[in-house]
């Protein structure tokens, strides 16, 4: 199944809405990703924050999707006001993966040399995302 079909069926997303059309356009322009031919493993809904390694927040917490692929991690967050967030993290850049869990929520931190990608979800969702990140690093 294609990524757009999975987003539409499993996550109840209207792919034809303006904010998702902007995401698809941004993927084509910024990352040169053809979403129709994108080879991915899994897709998870989560909340996402991007920080510099000195904890300065570059992108505040947003709802989006973690997508694992053979080449690395694709993060997409639609937006209603400004540009959508489309980030690709090459698997070669991933240095440290840590997770923290609290009573109901959990957080996974994926660190590269320059940035920290923080994913928040429920405990089960973070456990699945952590498995995917570790699988990507080993491929």
State both tokens at 7: 């987003």
CA dist 73 and 65 (Å) reads: 10
Residue 89 near residue 97 (C-beta atoms within 8 A): no
Tens of pLDDT, residues 96-136: 999 999 888 899 999 999 999 999 999 999 999 999 999 99
Find tokens 């209207």 and name the residue.
14
User: How many other C-beta atoms lie within 10 A of the C-beta of residue 42?
Assistant: 14
Q: Across the chain, what does the average pLDDT equal?
A: 89
In this prediction the pTM is: 0.89
CA dist 127 and 65 (Å) reads: 15
Residue 5 gets the label, from left (phi > 0), alpha (psi -120 to 50) or beta, of alpha
Tens of pLDDT, residues 43-96: 999 999 999 988 789 989 999 999 999 899 999 999 867 788 999 999 999 999
Q: What is the pLDDT of residue 65?
A: 94
Domains, the chain, in order of start with CATH, read 40-138 (2.30.29.30)
């Amino acid at each position: 199944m294609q990524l757009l079909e999975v987003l539409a069926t499993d996550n109840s997303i209207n792919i034809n809405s303006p904010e998702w059309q902007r995401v698809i356009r941004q993927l084509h322009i910024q990352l040169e990703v053809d979403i129709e031919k994108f080879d991915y493993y899994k897709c998870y809904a989560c909340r996402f924050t991007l920080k510099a390694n000195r904890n300065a927040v570059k992108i505040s917490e947003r709802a989006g999707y973690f997508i694992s692929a053979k080449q690395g991690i694709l993060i997409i967050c639609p937006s209603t006001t400004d540009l959508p967030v489309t980030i690709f993290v090459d698997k070669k850049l991933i240095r440290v993966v840590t997770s923290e869990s609290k009573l109901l929520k959990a957080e996974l931190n994926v660190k590269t040399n320059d940035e920290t990608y923080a994913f928040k979800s429920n405990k089960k969702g973070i456990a699945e995302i952590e498995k995917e990140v570790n699988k990507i690093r080993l491929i």
